[in-house]
A and B are shown apart, each in its own frame.
Chain A
Amino acid sequence: DIQMTQSPSSVSASVGDRVTITCRASQTITTYLNWYQHKPGKAPKLLIYGASSLQSGVPSRFSGSGSGTDFTLTISSLQPEDFATYYCQQSYSTPPITFGQGTRLEIK
């Protein structure tokens, strides 16, 4: 199975900050990488697919980059509604589809 490792596991930031979350795959996954946002009690929400394509309706302050084994999710200017847990997910080698362990973004 392909292991996905996110860093950091948690981060504290303020409204207006720029935040970057990293996801590393245990082997190459080309650009078969997606990012989700999850808030407690809510359904997870797709943000980025194919490493860098912004899902329709997602604010442009979210962006994704990377290929091969190393990927990043960047939030250019944090808004109050962005505090949540973020997950990366690969589908290059399946089954199984695998997720990172999550990065919790907290208010400083």
Chain B
Amino acid sequence: QVQLVQSGAEVKKPGASVKISCKASGYTFTNNYMHWVRLAPGQGLEWMGIINPGAQMTVYAQKFQGRVTLTSHPSTSTVYMELTSLRSEDTAIYYCARGWASGGLNYFDPWGQGTPVTVSS
């Protein structure tokens, strides 16, 4: 079955960077875009960006422009999300999610299990 398995929890200091992996299985990796979404404590879901895993084309939410980088390794069916210059407000659970598109309709299914990131001095 389709699975997205993410790397484990991270604890980082302010100013550091974090890189999270998302390994896909059960489908042709390059057939679907991959999105990244985060859930901060007390907040709602927040979309961060999208990558075309085959073409390496990316689009980022303006809020994260300059701090987030999405990359893809088709040989291992793995997508990576790197977030730099971490601050306490980046403490959140980070999810990858397989994207589906039909015209302008975009939705996510399935999602990875989530990677908690804690930013604390």
**B91-121 to A contact mask, C-beta < 8 Å, 1/0:** 0000101001010111111111110000000
Q: Which residues of A are in contact with B by a Cβ distance under 8 Å?
A: 31-32, 34, 36, 38, 42-46, 49-50, 55, 87, 89, 91-92, 94-102
Kindly identify, within residues 28 to 61 of chain B, every residue whose CB is under 8 Å from any CB belonging to chain A.
35, 37, 39, 43-47, 49-50, 59-61
Collect the chain B residues with CB atoms within 8 Å of residue A91's CB: 104-107
**B107 and A49 within 8 A (CB):** yes
Q: Complex: how many Å from CA A96 to CA B110?
A: 20
How many positions in chain B have a CB within 8 Å of any CB in the partner chain?
A: 30
User: How distant is A1 from chain B, measured CB to nearest CB, in Å?
Assistant: 8
* Least CB separation from B64: chain A residue: A96
Q: Complex: how many Å from CA A92 to CA B101?
A: 11
Contacts A32-B105, A91-B105, A95-B62 known; A43 to B44 CB distance under 8 Å? no
